[in-house]
Amino acid sequence: MNAFFYWLYDGFLLIEQFMDAGGTVLWVIAALTLAMWSLLLERFIYFKTDLNKDFQGFLKRWDALPERQSWQAHQVRDTLISQMRVAATSNLDLIKTLVMLAPLLGLFGTVTGMIDVFNIMAVTGGGDAKSMAGGVSKATLPTMAGMVAAISGVFGQIYINKTAETQSELLKDRLTVDH
């Protein structure tokens, strides 16, 4: 059991060293990624648990209609399909925004890291390679982290879009106008 805690402690130290090497922007990217994946995880859990309940509820509301041929019935059908789409894509705009923001924060980290390199070059005349390496690290790590966060978020976003579209089309097919 002690070996596990030493391993865990070493892991935290490595993460802390990595984050310190990337600078403050890397912490911001980590917070953004955590928020983005929390929202994505919420959507995944919704798809596995409550989506089917909502789907069945929409079908029950449709089956409770006395007739399905009138203009009002068609409006109810369109409303149910729309409500299904809204329920399935909840928070998707926020997720998209976070996905787009991640590489921009990475580029911001690049700029701040390069400013550190130029400051070191101005002070030392370019002779302190070890100090410049720290600035280069602050420039490259946020860029990489921002791109990794964005790419992982894009995959989650695609899954949510596909699932929402599939469920909406399935509901549209199940809500027939024939009685």
pLDDT, residue 175, reads 84
Measured torsion, CA atoms of residues 147, 148, 150, 153, in degrees rounded to the nearest 10? 170
pLDDT, residue 23, reads 82
Between vectors from CA 78 to CA 76 and to CA 84, what angle results, nearest 5°? Answer: 100
- Every domain of the chain and the residues it spans: 21-174
Q: Give the C-alpha separation, 17 to 11, whole Å.
A: 10
Q: Give the C-alpha separation, 23 to 137, whole Å.
A: 9
pLDDT, residue 124, reads 76
pLDDT in tens, 2-38: 888 888 888 889 888 888 887 888 999 999 999 999 9
pLDDT in tens, 102-147: 999 999 988 888 887 788 777 777 666 777 777 777 788 899 999 9
Instruction: State both tokens at 1.
Output: 């059991």
CB atoms within 10 A of CB 101: 18
The number of CA neighbours under 13 Å toward the Cβ of 48 is 7
CB atoms within 10 A of CB 140: 17
Q: Give the C-alpha separation, 110 to 121, whole Å.
A: 16
Q: What is the pTM of this model?
A: 0.82
Distance from the Cα of residue 28 to its chain's centroid: 14
* Residue 177 pLDDT exceeds 70: no
CB atoms within 10 A of CB 154: 15
Q: How confident is the model at residue 179 (pLDDT cuts 50, 70, 90)?
A: very low
Decide: 142 and 29 in contact? Cβ < 8 Å.
Answer: yes
Q: To the nearest whole number, what is the mean pLDDT of the chain?
A: 88
> What is the rounded average pLDDT of the residues 35-52?
94
pLDDT, residue 144, reads 93
